[in-house]
Structure 1
Amino acid sequence: MVNTVQIKIDGGDEVGGLVALHDWLRGEAELAGFVKLGRRAAGAEELGGVLDVVTVAVGSGGVAAVLAQSLPTWIRSRRPAVKVTITSPNGRTLELEAAEAADAERLIMDLLRQVDDGA
């Protein structure tokens, strides 16, 4: 079963950050076909939807492990620092900043294991 994880960014240039994160994750060979940019619906005063999330289809072929390894490196590289919120398909969230990047791989894997376990 494939589940989709959503990743949002708070701080700095959020749209630019989402594009940079999308490109970073697609640069990982194991993630390339599983990463997409998502848009929220356009508001009454907007011409089109605004980028607001990166989605990653996880659940097979080690995609979760590659995401858990790659995302902390990207978070540490951001200037100015950003906060990343990961939302699992079951609605659980995890917020990470550069200061937590050292534990991020374990925290992300714990979050994604809860999805696999049906928690």
Structure 2
Amino acid sequence: MELQLWVEGADPVEELEDLGDWLSQEPELRGRVKPAPAIPSEGELGGLPDVLIAALGGGGLASALAASLSAYLSQPRRRSVRIKMKGPQGQEVEVDAQCAGDAERLLRIALGQAEGSQ
């Protein structure tokens, strides 16, 4: 099961790279969260990724991702960052510092695993 993550903030590309680095430090998530291949625009040699793809299965990986996102957003310098998530059925949610404590519930909605998902 794949979950797409992208960042809205002052510098989305830098924040996405920072988030990817943060998540790669989590032992349970190592190797499971990677930048999506960027498709270059016409005339470009390459592009910068704007989405991370998290490959989640069983074994509590969704909980580990949610806990890591919550910790990431709870850092004082993350106040203006918003992380959007899109699940395999197209369900989209967003989480920011004000609702970081709800990260797991929101992630499960995106994955279609919680009440409130349609």
Instruction: Note whether the superposition's TM-score is higher than 0.5.
Output: yes
- Does the alignment pair 1:56 with 2:90? no
Q: Which runs of 5+ in 2 are unaligned?
A: none
Hey, which of these two has a bigger chunk of strand by percent? 1
The Cα of 1:85 is off from its aligned counterpart by 0.6
Q: Which 4+ stretches in 1 moved above 4 angstroms?
A: none
TM-score by length of structure 2 reads: 0.85
Hey, which of these two has a bigger chunk of helix by percent? 1
| Identical residues among aligned pairs (%) | 39
8 A Cα contact 1:36 1:54, kept in partner: yes
Aligned-partner Cα distance in 2 for 1:111–1:87: 6
Mapping of residues 19-30 of structure 1, within 5 Å: 19-30=17-28
How many residue pairs get aligned? The number is 115
Q: Deviations over 1:31-90 (max 9, x none)?
A: 002110113311124221221011110122211110011111112224451111100011
- Does the alignment pair 1:82 with 2:81? yes
TM-score by length of structure 1 reads: 0.84
